[in-house]
Each structure stands twice: as structure tokens, then as C-alpha cells.
Structure 1
């Protein structure tokens, strides 16, 4: 692979912020003044991904050379350490001249550095596994000799991926060279087909994974009241996400609501005047500091207290919970408010020592509002926002009745002045109307049926955007259905299936229902095994037929379904909930496309077995009918040229 290819795969291999491969725990070196880095050897980079399907056009296969047995590489797996046959990008290994001026780096478990080899003038990277011994980043096997000249690793070299991986190949032997072609991907594992380069003979299948050597941390000293030991973490164990240390909850205390996003993430602080003053002082000092602070030039580490700019252009204290420096994305939790956000390095600042959590602990506690529902609806959020914005004083009671409970415990809240039960009020607001109707002994047939004309649609952007394609059944006619990527209304509409299923499986909605033309209804779609919103287009063979043609509103699909799968719609599943997708006609699409052209169009949109894909749209024009758009997609039209 040449240098240009290397740059290309480094661009392609950046992980999603919330996805990517499992990482080892992010421990810190103990020695003061030492460069502190995660032990995961180049962070989010997965070296074997140079053969992933995402880069198939250029890197669909790669040469791997079996280098050493995995146990010798400190990897607890029956695999071989493999050194991919690539030419390293220029400047990848640090040179002796750069290292000579750096202070020596004492070995510490989990710490990365570089070792100066004076004989060759090269400086291979390493990760310290046992104190003095260390595995080299570039070579799966190897240990640092006693007295090795170890130096800090500059950030620009830490950004380069490790050039080793784990190859699972039952028939392999050390020294074998393979051509690996990706067949599929499962989590962090690439399933590959192997061909022996020397003999050109197929060697069956294998797997390729990141090489994550085991770091031997000393065992924690046991205590008399120690709990049973938890299973040892493996190299693929998910890292623990740090939490803000928050004060415990006090029974019968008076509090102010700070923020509420879901029942388990309710944040409160004491209404005591002195604590209010301390809270305001912290917020004000951080805001003033942020006016002149300069952004960080190096990524923060997980668990670090930082100062971050919020959408209101003000600065607040935050805890760094996750890091993806390759994508310049950092998951932060604002300490004084509890809300989380993904921030960029340009908006993150160092926290002054006198304002860190260790110097000024937060006064805000987390609580769980005791209720049966798992989330808040819009009405509940509006009610809670009112309590928050008006700084309404509340009485907090621990659900257990204990005098004190850990932050995050279940609580009950009531308004101090009126004794209004907050839990009961929020629970009632979150209770669906059909449940209330069922509890009253009502009949769903007495409820007014919503019509298609009452359904709202959200317009597509007029300029360039990416369309998530949900249906391609009408592609031959130049029509598809979809929504803008990341559209909140679409996510909300598509998430209705669980609530619709609960409604349709209840005693209130057990009987089939035949709607009128253009009346909205609920239909069970066997293709997706979901209850979805629909509208009646026509009955298959006229009145009295056992099947009906319906438009599945959130998928844009026409479906012929038995009437027995239809249920009456409740207005609460329509009001304020626009359809997830729009009907899209593609401009300049061939009027009579060939099978090859249709296949090329699906290939361009990367349509999967479910009929879901993506399309880059240059322009969208709203048509007269609600939810109908004419779009320009010149890249698609060019891709269809045979």
C-alpha cells in the first residue's frame, strides 16, 4: 500500500463517536509529569480495517504476514500476531534527532512511549505492559531491555494507527503470508477469506481483529469487608464511563429542579440560600473565566474536569466522559446541570485548579423520579420545564424512606407551596389517552377517526442533503420514499411502533377494523413485524373483500394486507407527529429503465435487503400534494449510465 492509500484508509477508518470497537480501560500513569495516554495503542484506530467493506473500492484485500503466536504477543487468544504488508507513511517512526532532546520516560503500566535505538537511529513506539517490559506498537512481539532509552511519544505519532493486528487462521503457521479478502463484518471482527501467497492455494476462512495486548495491573489490596471479586476484564471489555461525583439525596429536603430529560436523569440542588449562593458563584466564576480562556490544544482525557462552551455561548464546568480525538468529538456532561453534549476541541478549555471537582465539589444531585413510564412525553417535559424555569421549591422524599440515599436513587417530589404531587402529575401526563379510555371502560369505536388530510409532513431541505431511502418498490418509475438524515421527526415517528404494539395488543383494540378511504388506521406489517401507521387506499376487490391496499405512512410503501391486521387509529398517534418520510420523484430518471440501470441505481444508493439506502440530493422542489417532492440527484443519474 502506498502513502496515498495509507492517508485514504486513515480517513476512512475513523470510528463513529458512539460506535467503534471496544476499548480497554483508560488508566493513567502514576508518575507525575509523565505523558499520560490510554493503553489502547493509538486510540480508536483498528489497523485491520484497511480491508473493511467500507473501503472496498480501494482496500478490499490486504496482505498479512503471520509474525508470532498470540500468547507471545500478550494477547489471550489462539491467534497469530500479523504484520500487514504495507509501506509506512513518511515520518511514521520518530527519528533519533527528535528524541535526543526529550527527557527520559520512566516505565509505567499502560503508558505509551518510544524507545531510542541509537544503533539504527529509529524509535519504535511501545506500550508498557508490566512496568519495564513492553510490547512494541509496530511489532506484536518484543520487550524492552533493561535500561532501554525510553522517551515520551509526541501526539502526532500517537495519532498513527498500530500496524499490527490479530489474525485468526486455524491452518496458519508462523511465517505464512496471506492475501485476506473481507467477506463480512461482525462487531469488531472482520471475517476474511484466506489465500496462501506462496502456493496461491485457498486456506479457508479466518478472522482479523485489533491487537490489544493485556496490561498487567497490580491486584487491588483486599480488605476484610471486600465484596466478591468481579470477573477479570478482557481486552475487549467495554470501558466504564466516568460519572460526576454528586452529593447524596436527603429525605424531606427542599430542592430546586435543575434539569430533567428522562425519569432516571432528574437533577436537583438544595434551595438553601447559602448553597444557592455557592452554586451561583461557581457558575459565575466559570462564565467570567471562559471569556478570556483559550481552547485546549491537546485532547482532554476521560474523567478530566474541563470548561466548555454551551449553545448559549456561555462557559460551564463539564466532565469529559468519552473521547474520540480522531473525529474531534468529546462527550461532556455539564456538572452543574446534568445534561450531556458532544463538543469539539475548539470549544473546550482547561479548568482552573481552584474550580475542579476536587476543589469545588458540585452541589447538584441526580435522582430518579419514581414512576412506571420509562420516558417523558412532550406534555410532561413542558410541565417539568415550568417547574425548572420558575425555580419552584420542591419537597424531596426518598422512595425507600431512608434519611439519606445515594445520588441517582428513586425519589418522590411535591410542590412545597401547594403540595402538588409531581410524580403523580407527570405519570398522568405520560399516560396514553387510550389507557385512560380503557380504565374508564370506554369503547374505541366512540373515538373520532383521524383522516389523511390531518397528517402533517415535514419539508425536505431545498439545498444539498443526504436522503435516507426507506422504500424502493417504485424505483423503476423513478420514485422512492425517504427522509433527511438525522431528522428528529423521523426518528420520533419510527419509534412509535412500540407504543402502537402496546395499544393494538390491549383489550381496547383487540378487534379488526376496516377504515374508510383515506382514514388513518394502524396496520400490522408482516414484512417488518411491526405495527405501523397507515391509510386505506382501496379494498382489493371492492367492498367486503378480505384484503386492503394501504399506504404505510412512515415508510412510503404500498402494501396489500388482510383486513384482520388492521386496527382503529387513536388521534394521539397522529397529532403533532408528522409522517417520517416523503414521497420523492427523481428528476431525469429514465422513463423506461433497463434492469441493469435499476440495479446500478440500487447499488449507488447502497440499498440493503430491507430496501433501505442513502441518496445524495442536490436540490429538492416541493410539489402540490402534501409530502411530495421532486429532487435532483445528478450523481445517481451518472451512476446509472451503462
Structure 2
């Protein structure tokens, strides 16, 4: 058996390097092939096998590393299970499965449940001894003895007591964190599928980490039952959950997303009445004079229950309004405080139109002018009910005062009986809330959220203003008059907004504003999109063409004489080629051309003029070079050039791990973006500095370019690297490709699976060799790997399940395995490895330093 020659797990075997014998036990199933098993391992007394052949397979794949630990786990009565005599009952001590530290990824639940039963764990440290070609090479995959910074060796005491938690790369491709500008897509952490060999046994594959979180105990492998679907292991009550399951969010309905105006006051007196209550009403005015669509009169209604509230409106309300000296401009439907000059009193009022207010406690409508004293309604008067009501009764007149009793409820009101004082004649009517008609203003149509730019003319000499993509290159005519006007606009904006204060109210889409750019200078800009609640506004700079997400604090009012409508833009844009990301060389050339280098703009097909955005050719006047062609060549990936000339990627020199470069951490410390926690049991996490500017480039642009290459005719063929050669690898079920290093073939020459380490995440997986591709220099040049291995000083050798749960909670590990960790005293060990302090983490775990 080829598996017998594999000694990759010898480092983890501890004191159990010999293959134990087999003992008999009835009614079990073999953990390797699933057939009936009447034997179990004599070393641990737990794992069932049908034959010595299956035991030898499992010994090399997995069991050799955990047998002695399982034996210690079952030694509850002072002796190991291996000492139980054959005549004793076979009710062996059951080892409960280890509880997961967090729930599995939502998108991989089914796969993870399958992997929980079928897969075995492959450690990072287990491949280090066999993955190197030179003893002197400082590789993270070599056996480094007992150096302080080695990632983790299985012969350390803590290894078997704290089994690593495997983790898959995360994906954020469909979840942009920014609203407007493009957010770097985080490639998914690869998650592996189990594969079956032809003889029905399982390949040596790595389980999905979110399910097989091995801590202090190695779980007893459940016997597989093919007819039934495996079910996820339920956490025990003693396992402290990291975080509560997030509540199910109800899908948004029309009412959820439709803007609604809050009705203030929240109460009205008719609503507070009950059948049998007595009130006094004073008929104040006709309903037709108060913009009421129902009823005959508007009355002031008083109940003894709310007499104190009404007294507040008479006394303290006016004092509160006088203290507020800030003028308020209500919109139709808003409630405000209004000073009535006719009697010198303050009233609560509802705005009916820009020129009319309804006094909701005085039963009248007043006209207002720009000089009227209006204040914002104090919050403590919002809950006092309105004291006006509509009366439906034609037998009364304005000025009457009546005692009224509630008879019965009707829709939105009550039937009432009324009597004049000293008169027994009973009148009947209906009371409703007074809701005068509000004249809501029609919404002002938004101006088009686009900067109007002038057309381009054939044969015009221009200056290059901005070029972030070849399909949108901004230019401005180079003649002296245009340049003078262009500079005048920039100067006028600075002069007229020198002492300006930021906007207080959010701008609307299509509004011209003055925005502060990252250089601290103010420029004209047009608002393209708004997200008021998040204080985010997407603006386009009129004189340059670039866009930026700004906060309200960095937006200033634009003088009307400088608006985009008053002073149109002088800058146009043209298309040089299809949308292409600019290479570093192309960006450098553009920066040189922007330094007063004249370009000649020509239009195709003999056109004399074309709208802004049309295709055009730019030629450098001084050298007569075709800028379109030069930039396209600079932006064409190397692999496309090889493809065009009929070459093959095998002709490219191999890229080796010893030459790989990783990002660095500041020696004083920083906050780390945690990407992989598969080795957290050994005190090691993988990640990068959270503000590393290289990370977005790696997870966004480089990943996108690798996907394009690997899906092309040139890159679609599998490639078999040598040990420690850099490569590009996929991991099902994800479609993305990732930067990695090839470690070894799983089962020797001819094997269909290989061990791969994903260098931008730090996790190690076993994948089919058909999913490996040749690494090209353009994917590593100037783009270091970001998956740093961070070994935490003073991390406990044998952390408990509770300690690890606290550690993950402290790092705020989410469902995708991402989190943050504050580290200090970062000591560089070798390329990609650091020794760090994390005192806050250790404190959260309950470790006294």
C-alpha cells in the first residue's frame, strides 16, 4: 500500500509511533470503508475497523497523529481502554464530539456536514518537513526544529491538546463595502470537497474548518450511514456560544422603503375619550373656514383629565418658545410653534402651506409671512393631545358652549349627546379629529446627475487632464483663451468660498457644490448620488472628471454665478479603447504627458465634431507617437502577448517560494485583519495589517486578472509545479483563482491531488491537481503576499474550549472567519512570519500576564 510509505504524520504521533494491534467489538462500522467492523484499535480503544488493511490506511492518513491523544481522553478511571480485558463488556467510554466554536458558513452547510464525517485533518506543520528541497532554505514549509518562530510542530505538547480549526478563504465579491466607489473584492477562502477513490475509500483530504473545529478532544468518527443525510452536530449546553444567531431580517416591503412623515402630536383628544366620558366643547368657527373636508364646525374640546396639559400650553409653552431664538422653516405637514401677534400668545400649529398655519389648539387658520415668528416645537410638547375637534351638528352656531357626553363609538370618532347649560333640550352630533387639508408641494424634478461637457472637434490640440481608464480620458483644449477661462474658474472658486462654511442641509442630486478634495483644495463638483443617513455623497469634479465619495462636512455651497448651469465645463472626455485597467507603466506615461504636453485629437471617419465621450485618437505632437496604441500595448497583460505570438506558459521561468515577498508589519504593532484561524489552537493566526494599501489591490485587481488568465485558452490547461513553486490554484466550489505555493503530491508520483498553501490567506488545503495553473510574474511583481503567519507569545500550550471560544469572540470572528486582532512588539522571523504580543487577547482568554 502506497500509504504505508507516507510518514508525514510522524511528527504528531508523540509517544505512539507503533501500529497498535486490533481488538474485537461487535456491531460497529469501519471508519474507512463503512462496512461492518468487529475490531477496534487496541491503542485508543475507540476507532473501529473491518480489517488490518483499513487500519493501516487510516493510520497513515489520520489516526497515527491522534491515537495516543484519544487513549488519554478515555482514561477516565485511571487506566486506558487498551487495558480492558476481552471478557469485559464492550460498552466503551464514549468520547463526545468536540463542539464547534462557531456555526458553519451558510453557503457551505451541506458540504461541511458531509466533510465532518468523511474528511481528516492535514496540518500546516505536517507538510513542512517534506515540502522543502534544501535544509538551509528558510521556508515556512520546512522542518525548523524548535525555533521560536516556527509556525507549529506536532511534537510540541500543545498540538494534540489543541487541534487547529481549519478555515476556508472568504469571498466578498458580491458585497461591496463602499456605496459608490468600487470596493476590493475579497476572494473566498477555498473550501474543499471530499473525493472518493475507485475502491470506495476516502482520499486524504482536509475537512471544511468551520465544522471540524478540533480543540482539546479529537472527536470520535461517527459511523457513516449512506442512506441517510448526515446531520450537523448540535452544540452542548456547556459550550459557550461566541455570538447569538443573527435575527432573520424580514424582506423589505413597499411600506418599509416608502418615506413617511411622522404625525406630531402623536395624540388627539377624541382618541383619548371613552363611552360615558363628559367633555365641554366651545364652537369656535365653521369647518369650511378651517380647510376641513368634513363636519360643520371646529370646536375647542376640554376634558378634566387633560386640564393640566392644557394649562401647560397656556403657561410654560410660551416661555419655552421665547427661549428658543432659532428661526424654523416648516414644510407642509410639519408641526411647529407659532407666535400669534393678534393676542401675543404662542400656539402649536400645523403647516398647511408656505403661507398658512392651522393652530391645532385654537381652532383657526392663520396666514403667515416671511417675518412671522416660527420655532421648532419643543419635544416635551409633542405628546400633549390636540384639543381641537370637528363637530358634525347643524343645530349649533359659532360661539356656543355645550356640555357633551360620549354615547357610542363610530369610525374614527364618537356619537355624542349635547346640552346647553340650563336647558334640558338634548342635541346629537358626531366628533372627529380636525385634519385641515395640507398642500403638499410637488417634488422638484431632480436635475440630471451628469456633468454637461462640450463636444470635441477634429484637429484640436488638447492637454491631458485625467485618464484612469482608456474608455474615459478627459482632455481640455490647449488654446490660450480656453486655458485662461479654465484657470479663472479654479481661482474664482477659491476666492468666493474662502470663508465659506460647510453645508448644513444635505444637497440634492444634480446640485452644484464646492467639494474639498484629498489635497485640501476646493473645486466645483456635481452631486451624482446621495446617502443622507450614512452621510455619503458621490460627487464628480467638473474641471477634472474624477469622482469621490465625500461627507457633508467637506461640501460647501457653490455661488450661483459659478454653478454648472452658469459656467459650463470646458473639459470633455474621449474613448481611446475599450475599458482597460491601466498598468503601472501606463500610469507613469500619463503623468508625464499631463505636464503641459500637447496632444492632437482626431476623429475617425472624417468627422469634424462629435459629442463628448466619442471615440478619438490622441497623438503626441512632439514625438508624433500614437498614444492610443502605446497605452493599449502597455496595458496588455504579458500572457496575452504570449498568446498572440502563439507561445506557451511553460517557457516562462519558474517562480519559487524562496523568492516570494510578503508585506511587513510595523515593529511597534498594529491592528491585524485576521484571515485564517485554522491554527489558533497553536497560538497562530494569519492576516495582514488592516490598513495595508496593498491588500485591496491583491484581493481585487490581481484576483480579477488571474481569473481572466486562467479562463483563457492559454491558461486553461493544468500545470504540475515542482515542490515549493509558486502557482495559481482554485478550490471548489468557488470559481476564483488564488495565489499559492505547491507543496507536494498527496500520494506520491501520479497522485491526482496535491497539498497547496494559499499565500494571501495562510491556510493549507488538498485539491485536485487539475485545478493548478502556472504562476506568471505579472501576478507577483510589485504585489507582495499578504497572508502573514503571526505566532502569539505566551499563548497557552493546552487551551481549553472555553479559552478558544473567548479568543474568537475577542477577535470578533464572523461567519466567514474574518476578524481583527490588536498586536504589538512585532518581531520579524523570516519571510511571512512574525512573533507578536497580543495582551488583550490573552486577557480575554482569562490568562494572567
Please state which band the TM-score falls in when normalised by the shorter chain.
Answer: 0.5 to 0.7
Q: 2 CA distance for matches of 1:122 and 1:641?
A: 61
Paired residues in the alignment total 484
Residue 18 (1) aligns with residue 239 (2) = no
Residues 211-248 of structure 1, C-alpha deviations (whole Å, 9 max, x = no match): xxxx884798xxxxxxxxxxxxxxxxxx9983333222
Cross-structure match for 1:523:
729
Change (3 A) 1:521 1:101: closer
Cross-structure match for 2:336:
115
TM-score (norm 1): 0.64
Residue 510 (1) aligns with residue 716 (2) = yes
Cross-structure match for 2:695:
490
Residues 357-405 of structure 1, C-alpha deviations (whole Å, 9 max, x = no match): 333322112333333x43222222122222112x222222446865433
Residue 357 (1) aligns with residue 564 (2) = yes
Residue 433 (1) aligns with residue 654 (2) = no
For residues 314-325 of structure 1, what are the structure 2 equivalents within 5 Å? 314-322=521-529
Cross-structure match for 1:625:
830
Cross-structure match for 2:492:
285
Structure 2 residue aligned with 1:262, among 459, 465, 469?
A: 469
Structure 1 residue aligned with 2:628, among 399, 423, 426?
A: 423
In the TM superposition, residue 558 of structure 1 has moved relative to its aligned partner by 0.8
Change (3 A) 1:450 1:95: farther
Change (3 A) 1:322 1:145: farther
Cross-structure match for 2:754:
548
Structure 1 residue aligned with 2:785, among 579, 583, 586?
A: 579
The answer on whether the counterparts of 1:534 and 1:550 sit within 8 Å (CA) in structure 2 is yes
Determine helix, strand or coil for the equivalent of 1:507: coil
Structure 2 residue aligned with 1:471, among 639, 652, 676?
A: 676
Q: 1 CA distance for matches of 2:545 and 2:784?
A: 30
The answer on whether the counterparts of 1:394 and 1:416 sit within 8 Å (CA) in structure 2 is yes
Q: 2 CA distance for matches of 1:124 and 1:549?
A: 75
Q: 2 CA distance for matches of 1:464 and 1:325?
A: 36
Cross-structure match for 2:454:
247
Residues 558-598 of structure 1, C-alpha deviations (whole Å, 9 max, x = no match): 11122221111111111111113322223333222222322
Change (3 A) 1:415 1:337: same
Residue 454 (1) aligns with residue 615 (2) = no
Q: 1 CA distance for matches of 2:676 and 2:824?
A: 20
Cross-structure match for 1:636:
841
Q: Structure with the greater relative contact order (CA < 8 A, sep ≥ 6): 1 or 2?
A: 2
Determine helix, strand or coil for the equivalent of 1:116: strand
Q: 2 CA distance for matches of 1:463 and 1:151?
A: 59
For residues 288-307 of structure 1, what are the structure 2 equivalents within 5 Å? 288-289=495-496, 292-296=498-502, 298-299=504-505, 301-302=507-508, 303-307=510-514
Residues 314-354 of structure 1, C-alpha deviations (whole Å, 9 max, x = no match): 43333344556666655443321222334455554443444
Change (3 A) 1:407 1:470: same
Cross-structure match for 1:67:
none
Give the stretch that moved more between structures: 578-587 or 281-290: 281-290
Structure 1 residue aligned with 2:479, among 256, 260, 272?
A: 272
The answer on whether the counterparts of 2:717 and 2:773 sit within 8 Å (CA) in structure 1 is yes
Structure 1 residue aligned with 2:775, among 569, 584, 589?
A: 569
Task: Name stretches of at least 5 consecutive residues in structure 1 with no aligned partner.
Answer: 1-14, 21-55, 62-69, 86-93, 137-143, 158-173, 176-214, 221-238
Cross-structure match for 1:212:
none
For residues 62-461 of structure 1, what are the structure 2 equivalents within 5 Å? 97-98=320-321, 105=329, 113-116=334-337, 217=442, 242-289=449-496, 292-296=498-502, 298-299=504-505, 301-302=507-508, 303-322=510-529, 330-344=537-551, 347-371=554-578, 373-389=579-595, 391-398=596-603, 402-461=607-666
Q: 2 CA distance for matches of 1:269 and 1:435?
A: 33
The answer on whether the counterparts of 1:241 and 1:322 sit within 8 Å (CA) in structure 2 is no
Determine helix, strand or coil for the equivalent of 1:624: strand
Change (3 A) 1:123 1:328: farther
Determine helix, strand or coil for the equivalent of 1:602: helix
Determine helix, strand or coil for the equivalent of 2:760: coil
Task: Name stretches of at least 5 consecutive residues in structure 2 with no aligned partner.
Answer: 1-175, 182-241, 248-252, 267-315, 380-410, 413-439
Q: 2 CA distance for matches of 1:155 and 1:249?
A: 55
Change (3 A) 1:435 1:117: same
Change (3 A) 1:407 1:216: farther
Residues 178-209 of structure 1, C-alpha deviations (whole Å, 9 max, x = no match): xxxxxxxxxxxxxxxxxxxxxxxxxxxxxxxx
